[in-house]
Amino acid sequence: MAKPQVFVSRNIPQAGLALLRAHCEVSVWPHDRPPTTQELIDNARGKDALVCLLTERIDAAVLAALPSLKIVANVAVGYDNVDLTAATQAGVVVTNTPGVLDDTTADLAFALILATARRVVEADALTRSGRWTGWGIMQLLGHDVHHATLGIIGFGRIGRGVARRARGFEMTVLYHDALRAPEDVERSLEARYVTLDELLRQSDFISLHVPLLPQTHHLIDAAALGKMKRTAIVVNTSRGPVIDEAALVAALKEGTIAGAGLDVYEHEPRLAPGLAALPNTVLLPHIGSASIATRSKMAEMAAQNVVTFFAGGVPPNALNPDVLGRVRR
């Protein structure tokens, strides 16, 4: 029997490619940059499976242009880049990579909390610059993280991981989520459920861990920023459009809040005008899950979903398993 044909939209870690190559005919996009939509269509034409990244937008038009496609394996836990409704209607299985990146992303959220509060990037630049004149009692004063109040918006696996880390810093942890966590989880993480309003008003640090949905788009807008303490620091490792980035720039300029640590942006890789020039920000290029081990696990997980599907099984991370009985053939 002919092997399934797979297009991989970027060079991914070897563990994933090796697993795919053991079972499928694999072609890989050869460039560092993402393919354009037309390039994606041209390269995936006639393929049975697509292994893609969050930079690829897989919508109804792309699915219609690729009628042979049966499965889309997204190498990310967030799948807002894939129109799941359109895929389900078209009879295409969609999978993601949950679970394996939680601790790595929670680590990075904490790195942003610390780096922004303690002005680590500014301090590093001063040390290297040759302009450092020696220890100064008024130099680079920041905000304490220990014993501060951390507000976590979105209390899923990653949000809870951040709460777990906050205990080591003896922080007071508040959280808000559409669903309240079970009592034993709240107790073990010493996290208190509050309304969004309360969280915005009481927190010294606000860390975002919600998926991008119509309900979370611009969740942090000018009104939300206006409710925060003037000393508050906002950290985002979820998805950029959860924050109204132009409103954030205005709030940071006007001193409505003290700082922001961002790993994600509203229009990646572009930044909102003025953001890059603000000293009270730490700006990372979407590296939340970027550890060697985690990216390797993500690639392997995506590959396993594809391999399981073509072996006739249920892909372990299928987002629309109902499609399995009526997949395009």
- In the annotation, is 286 catalytic? yes
CB of 318 to ligand DGY, least distance (A): 17
Among the listed residues 8, 288, 301, 317, the single contact to ligand DGY using CB under 6 A: 288
In one-letter notation, the amino acid at residue 163 is A
Tell me how far apart the alpha carbons of residues 175 and 186 are, in angstroms, rounded to a whole number. Answer: 9
Q: What 3-state DSSP class applies to 284? A: coil
Helices (H), 99-192: 102-117, 120-129, 157-168, 183-189
CB-CB contact of 243 with 218 (8 Å) = yes
Tell me how far apart the alpha carbons of residues 126 and 96 are, in angstroms, rounded to a whole number. Answer: 41
Q: Does 76 bind ligand DGY (CB under 6 A)?
A: yes
Stretch that binds ligand DGY, among 60-68, 75-83, 112-120, 227-235 (CB under 6 A): 75-83
CB of 288 to ligand DGY, least distance (A): 5
Q: Does 243 bind ligand DGY (CB under 6 A)?
A: no
Q: Does 281 bind ligand DGY (CB under 6 A)?
A: no
Stretch that binds ligand DGY, among 13-21, 74-82, 110-118, 131-139 (CB under 6 A): 74-82
Of 16 and 78, the one with the shorter C-beta distance to ligand DGY is 78
CB of 89 to ligand DGY, least distance (A): 23
Among the listed residues 4, 16, 35, 78, the single contact to ligand DGY using CB under 6 A: 78
Residue 311's CB is within 10 A of a number of other CB atoms, namely 10
Tell me how far apart the alpha carbons of residues 110 and 99 are, in angstroms, rounded to a whole number. Answer: 18
Tell me the C-alpha to C-alpha distance, in Å, between residue 308 and each of 51, 301, 305. Answer: 14, 10, 5
Stretch that binds ligand DGY, among 71-79, 114-122, 240-248, 299-307 (CB under 6 A): 71-79
Q: Does 235 bind ligand DGY (CB under 6 A)?
A: no
User: Contact letters (x/-) for ligand DGY, 160-199, by CB under 6 A?
Assistant: ----------------------------------------
Tell me how far apart the alpha carbons of residues 112 and 108 are, in angstroms, rounded to a whole number. Answer: 6
Tell me how far apart the alpha carbons of residues 325 and 310 are, in angstroms, rounded to a whole number. Answer: 13
Tell me how far apart the alpha carbons of residues 216 and 37 are, in angstroms, rounded to a whole number. Answer: 26
Q: What angle is formed at CA 216 by the lines to CA 210 and CA 221, rounded to 5 degrees?
A: 115
Q: What 3-state DSSP class applies to 60? A: helix
49-52 and 93-95 strand pairing: unpaired
Please pick, among 118, 157, 192, 286, the residue that the annotation labels catalytic: 286
Tell me how far apart the alpha carbons of residues 315 and 309 are, in angstroms, rounded to a whole number. Answer: 5
Q: Does 236 bind ligand DGY (CB under 6 A)?
A: no
Among the listed residues 26, 44, 52, 101, the single contact to ligand DGY using CB under 6 A: 101
Please pick, among 165, 239, 266, 300, the residue that the annotation labels catalytic: 239
Tell me how far apart the alpha carbons of residues 270 and 119 are, in angstroms, rounded to a whole number. Answer: 23
Q: Does 77 bind ligand DGY (CB under 6 A)?
A: yes
Q: Does 289 bind ligand DGY (CB under 6 A)?
A: yes
- In the annotation, is 45 catalytic? no
In one-letter notation, the amino acid at residue 146 is H
Of 78 and 161, the one with the shorter C-beta distance to ligand DGY is 78
Interface with ligand DGY: number of residues (CB under 6 A):
7
CB of 222 to ligand DGY, least distance (A): 25
- In the annotation, is 239 catalytic? yes
What residues line the site for ligand DGY (CB under 6 A)? 54, 76-78, 101, 288-289
Q: Which residues are the active-site residues?
A: 239, 268, 286
